Amino acid sequence: MIAYTLRRIGLAGFVSLGVVLLTFAIGRIVPGDPAGAWAGPRAGPEQRERIREELGLDAPVPEQFVTYIWGVLRGDWGVSVRTHRPVLEDLSILLPNTFQLVFAGLFLGVLLGVPAGLLAAHCHNRLPDFGIRLGGLLGAAMPVFWLALMLQLLFSSNLGWLPINGIYDRSVENAYPLSEVTGAPVVDSLITGNWPMFLSSLEHLILPAIVVAAYPFAIVTRIVRANVLDTLGEGHIQLTRALGFSESAVLGRFALRSAWNPVLQVSALIFGSSLVNTFLVESVFTYPGLGNYAAAAAKVQDIPAIVGVTLLVALCYLAANLAVDLLHAALDPRIRLR
Amino acid sequence: MTTTSPTHPPLPTRVLAEARRSPVLAVTIVLLILVALVGVFAPWIAPYPEDALGNTAPDRSYIPPSSDHWFGTDHLGRDVFSRVVYGTRFGLVVSVAVVCISLVIGIVIGLLAGYIGGWWDEGLMRVTDVFLAVPGLLLALALASALNPGLIGATIALSVTWWPWYTRIIRGEVLSVMGRKHIEACRALGLSHTRVLLRHVLPNARTSLMVQASTDFGSVLLAVAALSFLGLGAQSPTPDWGLMVEQARTHFSTHWWMGTFPGLAILFVAALFYLLGDGLRDRLDPKHTTSTGSGGTT
């Protein structure tokens, strides 16, 4: 296990170096000239030359890359063209908000997806099964930004049940200031017992979280249904039936067990997709997270910000993959021997 | 391989038999053909074809759905139905282009990695690892924002993002057949490397590639729409579905029809491609002969 862990961490380190190289390359393929993009359209030639030197763009490319890696390691991720603040500083404020949204979505997706998958398997090829399968198909094929807009139209604009955008109500924040612990408002207000803020941030989270949950729901439902159906015919499940366990125990306690491993295997993939889906969801709900930041940056070709977000999300995704692999190996010894 | 034995029933009979065997797949394929035909014959189907090509008619803006304008008109008075019909072209062409480009890159690199093996394999696979380490849409978003915004830029960005998946599949298939007798026999008979790869190794990967590619048409369609929605794909006045939803955003609460129908079009076509992938997997993959609709993860 130790050898496997070390090998896996070494590989992750190597891949993160590759990702840094990839983001470095993306920052250099801007058509025309990065210094020009940085200086803006009205800059004169000598101003552009000065910025070129300032950004280190006159140095040979390998030297630039070394400077770039060194900067990434020291926490110097460049300065955003749009906000004029260090990129890493911006990101560290926004990351907890995005994590709050992603985990709420994942939680909701799994919470609804597992029972739905079980129900579909139980009612195999009957109406509930078809309904749930259709729901799963639509969840996977849904353009998330469109779903976000439709829910916003229905629940905020027309019915007025939920706030239309943002992360919490500014006026509530003024009355009950939020003390920062983790940076995620829902968690912070809960820990500090700030109930008005907790309610406010929770009701702002509901619609975005439902949209983010659509994809995990689709995948989890599908895996649970398929695996439970495959297992139902097997001897040990028939035995539990013969022993007189109730149908819900047979499905939920015994057959469901075979689905956890496949769900674990795709959990990093689902996490990555949900992280990227928040980009679209956040920009619809103007929710202050990484995605909203990246979407705004993309509109004005703010390359340092986009590259920063890409790098940060890729590193989170790598860490999730590593964690899932190690967990998987800890649970299943066969993996380690491969 | 493709010789038809004399006892084979004629083509229509075989098609009917296939359709009876997998009805959902048959319906999906028919619907996808219809969607493609809508794209091809857009100028004849769209009641106001000029509205899709940059014409504006401010005197008839914001008309709700009616018999004249089935999906209503947008803020510039353009017929939304005509634009959705034309949008079929852009969605399908970009998806097909991205999947084809990625397939070519993926097949070449995957075959090389699996067939040569050793350090080549190791090096090429680590490169795919790096590409796969960045969630697909995010890499495409970063690339598209560094390139010039437009459908060409989006196509390039998505192709660069998508190929590693095919490389993985191909390499796996190559490795699984490399030791087998018929491949060794081909080499012993003196066939060239290229011939062995293209005629004897690659066909083994056909099923996996077909399944993956059909699902990917749907995923790419969604990704293109997302890029257009973020302003990095199609540019105005292109009648692209994602861009149409984006343009409808500011008018959404008062004029729901502007964004609802283009979004439904994306959902419908993406769902058809996913159904096609599932159907093909059930039909072609011997491991999934049950009609449980089970199988892969995406």
Cα separation of A69 and A152, whole Å?
42
- pLDDT average, residue stretch A174-185: 73
Model confidence over A13-53: pLDDT tens digits?
889 999 998 888 888 777 655 566 666 666 677 777 777 77
pLDDT exceeds cutoff 50 at B292: no
- Domain-by-domain residue ranges, chain B? 23-296
Q: Is residue A188 part of a domain?
A: yes
> Which alpha helices (H) appear in chain B, and where do they start and end?
11-21, 23-40, 42-45, 80-116, 118-132, 136-146, 151-178, 181-188, 193-195, 206-229, 241-248, 257-284
Which structural domain range is residue A232 located in?
Answer: 96-301
Burial of A111 (0-12, 13-18, 19+ CB in 10 A): middle
Other beta carbons within 10 angstroms of residue B50's beta carbon come to 14
Subunit contact B229:A145, Cβ cutoff 8 A: yes
Check CB contact of A273 with chain B, cutoff 8 Å: yes
Q: Is residue A217 part of a domain?
A: yes
Cα separation of A260 and A275, whole Å?
22
CA A254 to chain centre: 31
User: What is chain A's mean pLDDT, rounded?
Assistant: 83
Q: Is residue A317 part of a domain?
A: no
Give B214→chain A minimum CA distance, Å. 13
| Closest residue, chain A, to B216 (C-alpha) | A141
**Structure ipTM:** 0.85
Check CB contact of A142 with chain B, cutoff 8 Å: yes
Q: Worst-scoring range by mean pLDDT, A84-88, A102-106, A233-237?
A: A233-237
A204, amino acid identity: H
Interface test with A, best of B32, B95, B137, B145 (most A CBs within 10 A): B145
Confidence of residue B289 (pLDDT cuts 50, 70, 90): very low
Closest listed residue to residue A98, CA positions, set A202, A224, A185: A185
Q: Is residue A294 part of a domain?
A: yes
pLDDT exceeds cutoff 80 at A102: yes
Subunit contact B133:A30, Cβ cutoff 8 A: no
Q: What is the DSSP secondary-structure string of A54-85?
A: HTTTTS-HHHHHHHHHHHHHHT---B-TTT-S
Domain B23-296 indexed as CATH 3.40.50.720: no
**pLDDT number for residue B290:** 41
Tokens 């006892």 — which residue?
B7
- pLDDT average, residue stretch A78-84: 81
Model confidence over B144-171: pLDDT tens digits?
888 877 888 899 999 999 999 899 888 8
Pairs of CB atoms within 8 A across A/B: 167
Who among B245, B271, B297 is closest to A149 (CB)? Answer: B245
Contact A330, B265 (CB under 8 A): no
A331 conformational bin, left if phi > 0, alpha if psi -120 to 50, beta if neither: alpha
Subunit contact B256:A266, Cβ cutoff 8 A: no
**pLDDT number for residue B33:** 93
**pLDDT number for residue B235:** 83
**pLDDT number for residue B218:** 93
Q: For residue B149, give both structure tokens.
A: 């915004």
Closest listed residue to residue B109, CA positions, set B129, B93, B95, B135: B129
**pLDDT number for residue A76:** 81
A85 conformational bin, left if phi > 0, alpha if psi -120 to 50, beta if neither: beta
Q: Is residue A112 part of a domain?
A: yes
Q: Is residue A100 part of a domain?
A: yes
Check CB contact of B263 with chain A, cutoff 8 Å: yes
Share of chain A above pLDDT 90, in %: 14
Check CB contact of B231 with chain A, cutoff 8 Å: yes
pTM to 2 decimal places: 0.87
- pLDDT average, residue stretch B238-262: 85
A44, amino acid identity: G
Q: Is residue A47 part of a domain?
A: no
Cα separation of A214 and A138, whole Å?
9
> Which alpha helices (H) appear in chain A, and where do they start and end?
2-28, 34-39, 45-54, 61-74, 87-122, 127-141, 144-151, 170-175, 185-191, 195-232, 235-242, 247-249, 257-284, 290-299, 303-331, 333-336
pLDDT exceeds cutoff 70 at B37: yes
User: What is chain B's mean pLDDT, rounded?
Assistant: 83
The CATH number of residue A240's host domain is: 1.10.3720.10
- pLDDT average, residue stretch A187-208: 80
Q: How many domains does chain A have?
A: 1
Q: For residue B18, give both structure tokens.
A: 């296939």
Cα separation of A146 and A281, whole Å?
9
A53, amino acid identity: E
**pLDDT number for residue B31:** 94
pLDDT exceeds cutoff 80 at A129: yes
**Neighbour-count burial for B194-208, b at 16+ CB within 10 Å, e otherwise:** eebbeebbbebbebb
Q: For residue A6, give both structure tokens.
A: 């070390």
Tokens 């084979």 — which residue?
B8
Contact A265, A324 (CB under 8 A): yes
**pLDDT number for residue B30:** 92
Cα separation of B84 and B69, whole Å?
12
pLDDT exceeds cutoff 50 at B90: yes
Residues of chain A positioned with their CB less than 8 A from the CB of B231? 298-299
Subunit contact A273:B275, Cβ cutoff 8 A: no
Cα separation of A300 and A306, whole Å?
10
Check CB contact of A14 with chain B, cutoff 8 Å: yes
CA B136 to chain centre: 14
Check CB contact of A143 with chain B, cutoff 8 Å: yes
Q: What is the DSSP secondary-structure string of A105-135?
A: HHHHHHHHHHHHHHHHHHTTTSHHHHHHHHH
Confidence of residue A189 (pLDDT cuts 50, 70, 90): confident
Subunit contact A15:B129, Cβ cutoff 8 A: yes
Q: Prior bond to B237 cis, omega within 30? A: yes
Residue partners of B56: CB distance under 8 A and separation at least 6: B76, B77, B78
Give B136→chain A minimum CA distance, Å. 8
Higher per-residue pLDDT: A124 or A233: A124
Higher per-residue pLDDT: B286 or A157: A157
